[in-house]
Structures are given as C-alpha cells and as structure tokens.
Amino acid sequence: ESTRSKLIRLLADAKESYISGQQLSEQLHISRTAIWKHMKELEKDGYVIEAKPKTGYRIKEYSGNVSSNTITWGLNTSWIGKEIIHKPTVTSTQFVAHQAARDNTPHGTVVIADEQSSGRGRMDRVWHSKKGKGVWMSIILRPKIPPYMAPQLTLMTATAIAEVLDQYDGLQPKIKWPNDILIQNKKVAGILTEMQAEQDRIQYVVVGIGLNVNQDNKEIPDAIHYRATSLKMETEKEWPIIDLVQQILEALEKEYESFLKKGFRDVKSKWENYGFRIGEKISLHSGSKKKEAVFLGIAEDGALLIESSNGETEKIYSAEIDWFVE
C-alpha cells in the first residue's frame, strides 16, 4: 500500500479531529516535510486541509473530483483498488488496462477515466462515455480459474452492480442476459470482459464497466435514446460518482471472493433475482434459424436456459435474442 493511501486512511479515520505532524511522521515513516508535500498534493485533488500550528492537520472539506486519491479515501476493500490509475481522458480504459496488465500490474488494479474518446462495447460496438457523466472503468483480475469459466465473471460483475443499484429506492435494476443492466427496460450499464489466456490458464482478465450516472436526456445520443438511460434521468437528481465507484468495487470484491470459494451456484441464484424476463417468452435467432422459447434462467455454467415449444430444456451460449415477444 502506498504512503499516500495510508495517509488518506489516517486522516479519514480521524474525521473531525486533528492529527499532529509528529504522529503522521512516525506512523508513515516519512519526514514532516514529506507529509507537507503530500498535503499539497491532496489540495490539488480538491481537498480542503486545515493545518493548525502546534496541533496538526485535519480535513475540512472532502473532494468530489474523481482521482486515485479520492477513490482511495474511505474505500473499504482489501485488494481491489489498492492500485488506481486515473486519467482525465483515454481512448478506452480497456486499452490502458491491457497495457498495465502486460506490465505486470497487480490483481485488483483499477483503471478509471473521466472521459473515453473511443469507449468500446462488445463486438466492436461503441460505448458513449461523456466526460464526467458516468463511471468508465476497467478492473484487472488474475483469477486462478480455467479460461472457460471467464464468462461467469461477467455475470458476477453484473450481479454486483445490480446489488449496488438495488440498495436505492425506485431503481429496481434488472440484468438482461448476459451483461446489460436495465432500469425500466433501458440500459443504464454495460460490462465488457476481455481475457488474455493460454490453453488452460488465464493470464489476466480485464472487466470493463460503463455506468451512466449524470447524463441528462439531451446528453444521450439520439440513436440510442429509446433504449438508454442514466441514474439522473431515472431519479431526477445528481449522483456522486466517487461513492458509486467505491460501492461497486466493494460489492465486486465480495462477489469475487464468494465466487472463488463457493463456485458459480451462489452467483447464479443472485443473478436470477435480477434476471430480465425470466419465465417469459423470448425469440432466438442464430443464422437463418429462428424460434420461440420460454426463458428459464441461467445454467450452472452461466449459459442461457430455455424451454423450447416441444417442452425440452436447452442451453444457449450465443444467439441474437429478441426479448420482447407478444
């Protein structure tokens, strides 16, 4: 853990009271001058720090700016986000994360940006990532699981995000298989999981999360208006991005640990609590074949489980799905 994040934790724990420079210097094993320099850095991040002669330091005002420091502040995780790479503008946080992963950045590293100039969805689709209006981040994981299980990480991530949003009244998030988070039938978040693997071993996985937070109606591109939304559009208020990032990282750490310990079963049942249109009729096409079926839920391996019109249960791994059948 860096000195900066230890300092942040000490100041955050002290809340309203002052901590002396002497005390900080002893606990962090750095000079008083070094502490003063750290304080100046925190001020650049938007914190208002009070330094009282002979008494010490305390935080007068917290910062709402997204930065590696402000996310670390009060983040209650043990390994996700111990390293945070924040950039104002990137092409895609996925791109930055892949690079960092190749440079051996640790398990749990988070890459986050205010804005993406070419945010990506699945299959080279575009992900609109307006400056300062959403959570655009990628998390590097190094799970010791076989590559075929990687798609389960997507379902796990979707579950964690749905759980965070579900804590707020009136959002009622749903997960559209495999990875869209919907509110009132409109997409509020998407997940893109990419992995680098050998035959039987994952080198690393990059889980990308895009969550629309503070866009107004007019800030959502016309072409996707009818199927995209933001937390602000749903609730008519601004949401604090830092808090959401912290809550997502905390939920993700918890889900990940339980996934490794207990396997996919637990994720599956939680996922199904939020499953969009479970028990209803959907229509599937792959190639020129088209059929209607009842959506039952997900299988033990994360596949889509359907009941065909002849009454047989079937697992589906990929198909174009039409979710609305009259």
Q: Which residues bind ligand BTX (CB under 6 A)?
A: 92-94, 116, 119-122, 125-129, 136-138, 180, 187, 190-192, 208-210, 212, 224, 228
Shortest approach of ligand BTX to residue 103 CB, angstroms?
Answer: 18
The per-residue DSSP string of 11-62 comes to HHHHTTS-B-HHHHHHHHT--HHHHHHHHHHHHHTT-EEEEETTTEEEEEE-
Shortest approach of ligand BTX to residue 273 CB, angstroms?
Answer: 21
Shortest approach of ligand BTX to residue 225 CB, angstroms?
Answer: 10
- For ligand BTX, the closer of residues 24 and 215 by Cβ is 215
For residue 256, the SS3 value is: helix
Shortest approach of ligand BTX to residue 284 CB, angstroms?
Answer: 17
- For ligand BTX, the closer of residues 5 and 116 by Cβ is 116
Q: What residues are paired with 181 via a beta bridge?
A: 175, 189
- For ligand BTX, the closer of residues 224 and 325 by Cβ is 224
- For ligand BTX, the closer of residues 59 and 192 by Cβ is 192
Cβ pair 222, 216 in contact under 8 A: no
What tokens were used for 287?
A: 């190639």
Shortest approach of ligand BTX to residue 25 CB, angstroms?
Answer: 39
Q: What residues are paired with 138 via a beta bridge?
A: 111, 208
Q: How far apart are CA 161 and CA 88, in angstroms?
A: 23
Cβ pair 176, 122 in contact under 8 A: no
- For ligand BTX, the closer of residues 119 and 302 by Cβ is 119
